[in-house]
């Protein structure tokens, strides 16, 4: 649920955003208003440009044309440190410095808050401890990040993004590598942060049903464009699933939440029926 502010207001917007790698355009003239204080989830088929868009929203990628605006100002005109105090980004495949420990990596999330006159404060310490507790990695603190399992490592990255304590959090497939209970834990944590602290979250999720459960605002992309957006109950339909993913499905109410639940059509069977 949207808990704070005007649901139509937006601090982060994309205007006629075109993103390209060399001569290949991936996102073309896209407009997006990220609803303030809400959880927005981006879905779409592989390679449709979700990560590319998210990286541009976090200024990791420079637009070819158009702009991303934070509070009305082009990201290109805002100093990097200032952006990092407002926008945290967890990329799809982050790379850890070699041999760094879990505690040290999470502590790097505090860099945007540090000053030459104060390298480390009580507030930094609190933020790191809390982020590690909330992602259930406190007992991994002294381990080397490159020796962890994929799921443990993913939770460390999430902790680092949380420690940054930004009002806007961009998460690219934060549930990758996680088993189902840790997936639910991370997504519940996202909702808690949104609810308790009014954090604005934009997440890319590959699981349409999780997207429909956790999003206030769902954005469906295809080939670098937004095909549909709105509350999941109004956007996730069998027609949309066919249009965006090319999949035949039946959409029923989720028995627990009532949100749309996409059930794919029949699995392949041998023609003999055996």
Ligand X SMILES: Nc1ncnc2c1ncn2[C@@H]1O[C@H](COP(=O)(O)OP(=O)(O)O)[C@@H](O)[C@H]1O
CA distances from 254 to 23, 145, 210, 265 (A): 43, 37, 10, 16
Q: Rounded distance, CA 73 to CA 44, Å? A: 28
Task: Select from 14, 17, 41, 49 the one that contacts ligand X (CB under 6 A).
Answer: 49
> Should residue 175 be labelled a site residue for ligand X when binding is judged by CB under 6 A?
no
> Should residue 51 be labelled a site residue for Mg ion when binding is judged by CB under 5 A?
yes
> Should residue 60 be labelled a site residue for ligand X when binding is judged by CB under 6 A?
no
Taking the complex as a whole, the smallest distance from the CB of residue 197 to Mg ion amounts, in Å, to 26
Q: Angle at CA 131, nearest 5°, toward 130 and 137? A: 105
> Should residue 51 be labelled a site residue for ligand X when binding is judged by CB under 6 A?
yes
Pick the piece of the chain touching ligand X (CB under 6 A) from 43-51, 63-71, 125-133, 146-154.
43-51
CA 108 centroid distance within chain: 19
> Should residue 21 be labelled a site residue for ligand X when binding is judged by CB under 6 A?
yes
Pick the piece of the chain touching ligand X (CB under 6 A) from 10-18, 49-57, 245-253, 264-272.
49-57
3-state secondary structure of 178: coil
Specify the residue, 143 or 206, whose C-beta has the smaller distance to Mg ion: 206
> Should residue 26 be labelled a site residue for ligand X when binding is judged by CB under 6 A?
yes
> Should residue 174 be labelled a site residue for ligand X when binding is judged by CB under 6 A?
no
Tell me the residue ranges of DSSP E strands in 81-154: 87-90
> Should residue 62 be labelled a site residue for ligand X when binding is judged by CB under 6 A?
no
Packing angle, helices 122-134 and 150-163, rounded to 10:
140
Q: Angle at CA 10, nearest 5°, toward 108 and 173? A: 45
What is the binding site for ligand X (CB under 6 A)? 21, 26, 44, 46-52
């Amino acid at each position: 649920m949207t808990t704070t502010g005007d649901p139509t207001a937006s601090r982060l917007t994309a205007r006629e955003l075109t993103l390209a790698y060399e001569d290949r355009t991936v996102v073309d003239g896209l407009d997006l208003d990220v609803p303030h204080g809400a959880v927005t989830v981006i879905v779409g088929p592989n390679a449709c440009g979700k990560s590319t868009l998210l990286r541009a929203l976090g200024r990791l990628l420079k637009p070819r044309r158009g702009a991303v605006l934070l509070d009305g100002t082009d990201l290109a005109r805002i100093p990097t440190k200032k952006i990092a105090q407002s926008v945290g980004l967890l990329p799809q495949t982050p790379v850890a410095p070699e041999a760094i420990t879990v505690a040290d990596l999470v502590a790097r999330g505090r860099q945007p808050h540090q000053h030459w006159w104060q390298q480390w404060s009580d507030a930094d310490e609190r933020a790191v401890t809390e982020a590690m507790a909330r992602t259930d990695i406190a007992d991994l603190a002294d381990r080397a990040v490159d020796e962890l399992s994929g799921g443990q490592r993913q939770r460390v990255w999430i902790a680092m993004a949380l420690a940054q304590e930004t009002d806007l959090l961009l998460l690219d497939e934060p549930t990758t590598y996680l088993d189902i209970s840790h997936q639910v834990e991370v997504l519940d944590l996202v909702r808690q942060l949104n609810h308790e602290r009014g954090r604005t979250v934009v997440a890319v999720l590959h699981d349409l049903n999780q997207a429909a459960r956790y999003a206030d605002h769902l954005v469906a992309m295809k080939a670098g464009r937004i095909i549909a957006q709105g509350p999941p109950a109004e956007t996730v339909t069998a027609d949309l699933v066919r249009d965006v993913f090319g999949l035949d499905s039946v959409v029923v109410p989720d028995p627990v939440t009532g949100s749309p639940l996409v059930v794919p059509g029949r699995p392949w069977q041998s023609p003999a029926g055996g």
